[in-house]
Amino acid sequence: QVDKADILVSELLGSFGDNELSPECIDGAQNTYLKDSGISIPAEYTSFAAPVSAVKLWRSIAHLGGDVAFESPYVALLHAHARLADAKAFFTFNHPRDVAVGDNSRYVKETFVTGEHWSMLNGFGGYFETVLYRGKAGESTLSIRPSSHTEGMFSWFPLFFPLRSPILVPPRSSIEFHLRRVVHADQVWYEWWISQPAVSPVYNMAGCAYTI
């Protein structure tokens, strides 16, 4: 018999929060190792995404091997790039949770409005924020979201969701981004596409090129 713990600490956060199976791993551990009154560190994390122009990175992906290279997200230092709009929240996970209530599948559609200049859309930058612990004295947090980036932290680079065909975007345009987190019996993957200002194919459909 396992003596259950008061605190479950995990180091499974990826560049997009959940992209290293943190939700599934913590869900699996909590029932076996954590008391009903126990806490998890991290307690919560939220992924964010923003449309970006990143021509150099896009060209590097194109050189990897044709169209299939664009069916996978990439952890990359977004250095020579421009965000076309502020990042918006996508998926939030909380721990511990009632694992009997649904799985960790997600789907979110967000609309971004660009600024006053023409721009080139190459894909979407992915980031995360996390609340490690909530206590009487407040919250302990970490973030790689650009607007709230933890000072001096370089442990995570963003996750980049590429588009196969760059899109020239007029000023003050709407960009509609769809992102799905698919949970299968033994695999997890992302599918992504846009429906404005143009309609793209669904990337990584059915986990055809990338699974976690």
Tokens 């799985």, residue? 103
110 among known catalytic residues: no
Catalytic residue among 11, 71, 116, 176: 11
191 among known catalytic residues: no
Tell me if 132 sits within 8 A of 140, measured CB to CB. yes
Catalytic residue among 20, 129, 139, 176: 20
Tokens 């290279």, residue? 69
Enumerate the active-site residues: 11, 20
